[in-house]
Structure 1
Amino acid sequence: MKKILIAFCMTLFLAACGDDSSSTGANGSETQKEMSSSSSEERNNNAISSSSRKNSSSSAKQSPEELLGPWNNPVVSSSSVEESSCEGCIDWSIPKEAYLNPEIEYDSITDERDGKVYKTVKIGEQVWMAENLDYSDSVKTPSLLGKSWCNGNDPKKCEVAGRLYTWAAAIDSVALSAEGLDCGLHKVCELPEKVQGICPQGWRLPSLEDWLAMLSEIGGDSYAGTCLKSQLWDGDEVNPNFDRFGFSAIPAGAFHKTRMFGDTERDNSGEFYGPDERVAFFWFASEETKLYAYFLHIFYNTYTLFHSGDKDNAYSIRCIKDY
């Protein structure tokens, strides 16, 4: 039965994304400890595989745990982990448009707040940004003050891969407080069903249900991560097996705050993480505890997982059109 199930999953993947023999490594325990800041003594690192999701139409009232069901982290022996190399890392010198799929018909929107233009793509019944958000006006949006960064503090990298935001910035905690909701780091609140966050007008921060619906559309198993990657994910060598739906993810990395003991507020010291490891992180509007919220994690190999991580780490944002 196990062999039949594995064969069935691979059939789904091949039908949706095509054969990806160049990137079929497994996610090992060493890689996972490096990639996710949610590994700590305070709690177990419960990564949630996209292959475990069956009921993406569940009620919005359900928690992420209820939507995804109980799941044990599928860690394999470190001896079988594909070695990560910086050969073919993201090329910051080429424009962001180069990372799009030339065979996909994209639309575009203009963010009226700063005039920046983003390509968009329709996947199933959803419309997603095909580029990472790069909005930084902390005067108009106070939630951003001291809570977003360009990778390596280099503004040119923001032009390619967008900004990295803490979870409080992503949900626009200041705007939510004006609605009577006290949300963010060290807090737990009942978020609205739809959270605009720092997305442009008419767009919003995706929910878990949004990600589940999209992943179901592109294959529905852990190998669906291949479908989300830009054809230039591994540098300037085009991989035609990637980016079948035009999501065009690039390994923008993350900013991880310096760890401190207990619930002590952290300063802005930390380190930028990930571009040389070829990984991407995307926040969505679901929290686990007062310290942890959920994000989608795309690895250098074919894996795509959900994790919960520190709310004051900074990850990328992809907005979804709000109908």
Structure 2
Amino acid sequence: MKLFFKTIAITAITLFTLTACDQANTCDFDASANTLSCSEKTYRTSNLGGKVWLAENMAVYIPDSSVCYGNDHVNCDAMGRLYTWTAATTGLCPKGWTLPTRQDFKNAFGNTSVATLKDGSSFNMQFAGFRYYDGKFADKDISASFWTSDSYDASRAYLVRVTDSTITYEHFNKNILASVRCVKE
């Protein structure tokens, strides 16, 4: 009988945990207000390249897979968190949203100037820098780096790198940490 109740208790705890995780990744999109309300914050959204994009970097805490630039929480509040490619591609984006491809970024950015992309009413690009896999941070206020869903090979994936004068699509080690934007499916 004790085994029966122990099994019931473990099953209930497991179901509660899975339900809580499921609810944590569920957000409410309000197209008229251009917002996506999630448990961690309410994100602004923007229409670019025929899709609805987050107009802010993701800010969900993922143990061992996300950090604030310089390990300073003030940077997370201002610019979102930085993530590994694996974290970015395994359920970080809320339900109904996904990590964009290189082509999604190309369609959204088109011939738009970086100054326009930095505008808060547009993409609201934040030069949040990135973190190397060895733990060193680089390029805050100099560049923005966004993971795409496109893998290059087993150890590298594509990043969109933006400076004041260039937008490039480069492959980097999947263990560096970069910003993430999500796009509505």
TM over 0.5: yes
Aligned pair in 2 of structure 1 residues 158, 279: CA closer, same or farther (>3 Å)? same
Q: Does 1:226 align with 2:91?
A: no
1:129 positional shift: 0.6
Per-residue deviation at 1:298?
Answer: 0.6
Q: In the alignment, which residue of structure 2 is the partner of 1:200?
A: 94
Match of residue 108 from structure 1: 35
Give the aligned partner of residue 157 of structure 2. 293
Q: Which runs of 5+ in 1 are unaligned?
A: 1-104, 137-143, 173-196, 231-242, 259-269
Deviations 1:47-88 (A, max 9, x none): xxxxxxxxxxxxxxxxxxxxxxxxxxxxxxxxxxxxxxxxxx
Q: Select which of 139, 142, 164 maps to 1:274.
A: 139
Alignment partners' CA distance in 2, 1:251 and 1:171: 21
| One of 280, 284, 292 as aligned partner of 2:148 | 284
Counterpart of 1:287, as a letter, is: S
State the distance in 2 between where 1:297 and 1:275 align: 12
Question: What TM-score, normalized by structure 2, do the two folds share?
Answer: 0.77
Deviation at 1:288, TM superposition (A): 0.8
Task: Give runs of aligned pairs for residues 103-182 of structure 1, distance below 5 A.
Answer: 107-111=34-38, 114-136=39-61, 144-172=62-90
Give, in whole Å, the separation in 2 of the partners of 1:121 and 1:154. Answer: 28
Q: What residue number does 1:246 align with?
A: 122
Q: 1:271 to 1:204 in 2, by over 3 A?
A: same
Q: Summarize deviations over 1:208-236 as a string: whole Å, max 9, x none.
A: 221122123xx17xxx3333124xxxxxx
Cα RMSD of the aligned pairs, angstroms, is 1.8
Q: Which amino acid aligns with 1:225?
A: V
Gaps in structure 2 of 5+ consecutive residues: 1-31
Q: Give the drift of 1:115.
A: 4.2
- The residue identity in structure 2 corresponding to 1:271 is K
User: 2:184 maps to which residue?
Assistant: 321
* Alpha-carbon offset, residue 248 of structure 1: 1.0
For the pair 1:308 / 2:184, whether they are aligned, the reply is: no
**1:244-281 alpha-carbon deviations (Å, 9 max, x no partner):** x61010110111122xxxxxxxxxxx2111115x1110
What TM-score comes out, normalization by structure 1 length? 0.45
Looking at structure 1, the residues matched to 40 and 147 of structure 2 have their Cα atoms a distance apart, in angstroms, of 23
Asked if the contact 2:40/2:60 (under 8 Å) is kept, the reply is no
Where in structure 1 do 4 or more consecutive aligned residues deviate above 3 Å? Answer: none
Greater RCO structure (CA 8 Å; 6+ sep): 1
312-321 or 121-130: bigger deviation: 121-130
Deviation at 1:167, TM superposition (A): 0.3
User: 1:291 is aligned with what amino acid?
Assistant: S
CA offset digits 1:139-195 (Å, max 9, x no partner): xxxxx33111001111121011000000011001xxxxxxxxxxxxxxxxxxxxxxx
Indicate conservation of the 8 Å contact 2:102/2:169, yes or no. no
Distance 1:297 1:204 in 2: 19
**For 1:272-295, what per-residue CA distance to the aligned partner results, in whole angstroms no more than 9, with x for missing partners?**
11115x111000100111111001
Amino acid at match of 1:295: L
- Number of matched residues? 154
Following TM superposition, by how much is the alpha carbon of 1:320 offset from its aligned partner in structure 2, in angstroms?
A: 0.5
**Distance of 1:110 and 1:135 partners within structure 2:** 13
- Give yes or no for contact 1:226–1:302 (8 Å, CA) kept in 2: no
- Write out aligned runs for 1:86-97 (5 A): none
User: What is the match of residue 14 of structure 2?
Assistant: none
- Aligned mates of 1:213, 1:292 — CA distance in 2: 23
After superposition, the C-alpha distances for 1:14-53 in whole angstroms (9 at most, x for unaligned) are: xxxxxxxxxxxxxxxxxxxxxxxxxxxxxxxxxxxxxxxx
